[in-house]
């Protein structure tokens, strides 16, 4: 039996006869770009979930009892013991006192580091003086020295000054650091025009006036990052406060929370509640300060 192809009615054209070949070819790159964008968004969402989950799990454990934490299968929803765990933390340690000490140390360290590091960075970036390169190389070399090697000399120095057991032993040794000077110096070289500094000098502005009116506004993004970085480091510091704060009444939050761990029996719900208390201020500081350097980055991207 013979078959015949269907006869197309006269006056009709093939379905894609009116589509230009270039238009058909352009649909494939567009589809690939759309697929790539969907995969990128999916990976970003997955990364956000993986980043947030540890904090979510911390909140779940802080609202649960020890038995619920170690139960099987693991409990993935909030419990009802949060207030009880907070009450146990308050009764076990001097929470308000240690929290106040930690805020004083972290805030003071952040302010001093931002001031001294930006001052030194501005001098290294925009001024010439004898031994500038040698001093900067020596400064960078100190970043190669492990911090643990300075614990004993630092304690001996604090002891000779009579600062052992006081909060200034935590603040003054960290009032400046090589990392912040290097970071701000690199930023100052690229963001502060030499002509602007020279104009301020011609107008009669001295070093500190130029620093305050010219350098600081242009280093705002780097200062915000450095301040947050220093605040978090001082807030989470454990070893140095444990060594130098010999008075139990002048503990920081991290050393105080260590007392929640018992030798024989540990209430993990209480420990996680204490850890949650120590994390929340860091989130607040990051939210308040991050917008400054994010805005600075966005402004730099627009200029570029």
Residue 217 lies in a domain: yes
Residue of higher predicted confidence among 69 and 301: 69
Q: Is the pLDDT of residue 131 over 80?
A: yes
Residue 72 lies in a domain: no
Q: Kindly tell me the sign of the dihedral angle through the C-alpha atoms of 223, 115, 144, 130.
A: positive
- Domain count within the chain: 1
CATH number of the domain at 200, please: 1.10.3720.10
Residue 289 lies in a domain: no
Residue 209 lies in a domain: yes
For residue 8, the model assigns a pLDDT of 53
For residue 301, the model assigns a pLDDT of 39
Residue 291 lies in a domain: no
Domain hosting residue 186, numbered range:
93-259
CB 142 within 8 A of CB 205: no
For residue 304, the model assigns a pLDDT of 46
pTM value? 0.78
Residues 41-87 have pLDDT tens digits of: 889 999 988 888 888 888 888 888 878 878 778 778 887 888 888 88
Residues 24-45 have pLDDT tens digits of: 555 667 777 888 888 888 899 9
Mean pLDDT of 139-149: 84
Residue 17 lies in a domain: no
Residue of higher predicted confidence among 24 and 91: 91
- State what percent of residues in the chain have pLDDT above 90: 11
For residue 262, the model assigns a pLDDT of 67
Residue 80 lies in a domain: no
Residue 294 lies in a domain: no
């Amino acid at each position: 039996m013979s078959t015949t192809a269907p006869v197309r009615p006269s006056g009709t054209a093939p379905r894609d006869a009116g589509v230009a070949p270039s238009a058909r070819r352009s649909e494939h790159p567009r589809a690939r770009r759309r697929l790539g964008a969907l995969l990128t968004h999916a990976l970003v969402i997955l990364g956000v979930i993986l980043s947030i989950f540890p904090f979510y799990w911390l909140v779940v454990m802080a609202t649960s009892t020890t038995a619920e934490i170690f139960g099987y299968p693991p409990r993935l929803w909030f419990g009802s013991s949060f207030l009880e765990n907070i009450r146990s933390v308050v009764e076990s340690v001097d929470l308000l006192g240690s929290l106040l000490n930690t805020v004083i140390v972290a805030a003071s360290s952040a302010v001093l580091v931002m001031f001294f590091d930006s001052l030194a960075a501005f001098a290294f970036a925009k001024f010439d003086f004898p031994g500038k390169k040698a001093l900067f190389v020596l400064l960078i070399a100190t970043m190669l020295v492990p911090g643990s090697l300075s614990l004993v000399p630092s304690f001996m120095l604090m002891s000779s000054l009579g600062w052992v057991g006081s909060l200034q032993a935590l603040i003054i040794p960290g009032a400046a650091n090589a990392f912040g000077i290097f970071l701000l110096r690199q930023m100052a070289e690229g963001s502060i025009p030499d002509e602007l500094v020279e104009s301020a000098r011609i107008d009669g502005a001295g070093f500190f006036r130029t620093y305050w009116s010219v350098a600081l506004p242009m280093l705002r993004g780097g200062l915000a990052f450095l301040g947050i970085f220093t605040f978090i480091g001082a807030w989470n510091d454990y070893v140095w406060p444990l060594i130098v704060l010999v008075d139990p009444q002048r503990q920081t939050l991290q050393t105080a929370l260590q007392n929640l761990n018992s030798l024989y029996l540990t209430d993990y719900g209480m420990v996680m509640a204490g850890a949650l208390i120590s994390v929340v201020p860091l989130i607040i500081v990051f939210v308040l300060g991050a917008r400054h350097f994010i805005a600075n980055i966005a402004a730099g991207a627009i200029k570029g």
